């Protein structure tokens, strides 16, 4: 089992999650984060920290696509452990539909 970053992180990217993870298993893309499924120890402390409610346990149904996406990009995006300012328009993107299809960026973020 692992925790998974899902669609609502895209363009919200608040980064509260990275500060609480005891094993530093968040990786940063251009406009979202992912969790490395082999590094996550399933502690669950990040889930309630996410203001966008974007972190879910992989035991929830329907997350296959995001589990795959987290696993794939955690291999190449840089590690992130320190929170930076969220995007200025993060609030406007909270809850917007079809973000994966329309706004996902495969580009890496800055990392720490
Ligand atoms: S706190 Fe939530 S929205 Fe922010 S980066 Fe982490 S998963 Fe994404
Ligand atoms: S569940 Fe725990 S180990 Fe996994 S990403 Fe969240 S804080 Fe890190």
- pLDDT, tens digit, for every residue of 4-36? 999 999 999 889 999 999 999 999 999 999 999
pLDDT the model gives residue 64: 96
pLDDT for 5 equals 98
User: Which of ligand 2's atoms lies nearest the C-alpha of 35?
Assistant: 5
Q: How far is CA 65 from CA 36, 69, 71, in A?
A: 14, 6, 10
* pLDDT value for 71: 98
Give the model's pLDDT for residue 30. Answer: 97
* All residues at 6 or more sequence positions from 29 whose CB lies less than 8 Å from its CB, including other chains: 73, 77, 105, 106, 107, 108, 109
CA of 50 to the centre of ligand 1 (A): 5
Q: Where are the alpha helices (DSSP H) in the chain?
A: 16-20, 64-74, 90-93, 99-103
Q: Would you say the pTM of this structure is higher than 0.85?
A: yes
Question: What's the pLDDT tens digit per position in 85-99?
Answer: 999 999 999 999 999
63 lines ligand 1 (CB under 6 A): no
Instruction: Output the residue whose Cα is nearest ligand 1's atom 4.
Output: 14
Model confidence pLDDT, tens digit, residues 40-70: 999 999 999 999 999 999 999 999 999 999 9
The response to whether residue 55 sits with its C-beta less than 6 Å from ligand 1 reads yes
Verify whether ligand 1 is closer than 6 Å to residue 69 (CB atom): no
Domains in the chain and their CATH numbers?
Answer: 3-82 (3.30.70.20)
Binding site membership of 21 for ligand 1 (Cβ less than 6 Å): no
């Amino acid at each position: 089992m692992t925790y998974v970053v899902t669609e609502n992180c895209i363009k919200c990217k608040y980064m509260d999650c990275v500060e609480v993870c005891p094993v530093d298993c968040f990786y940063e893309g251009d406009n979202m984060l992912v969790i490395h499924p082999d590094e996550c120890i399933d502690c669950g402390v990040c889930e309630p920290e996410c203001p966008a409610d974007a972190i879910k346990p992989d035991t929830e149904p329907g997350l296959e696509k995001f589990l795959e996406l987290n696993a794939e990009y955690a291999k190449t995006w840089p590690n992130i452990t320190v929170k930076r300012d969220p995007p200025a328009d993060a609030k406007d993107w909270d809850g917007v539909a079809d973000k994966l299809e329309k706004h996902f960026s495969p580009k890496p973020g800055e990392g720490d």
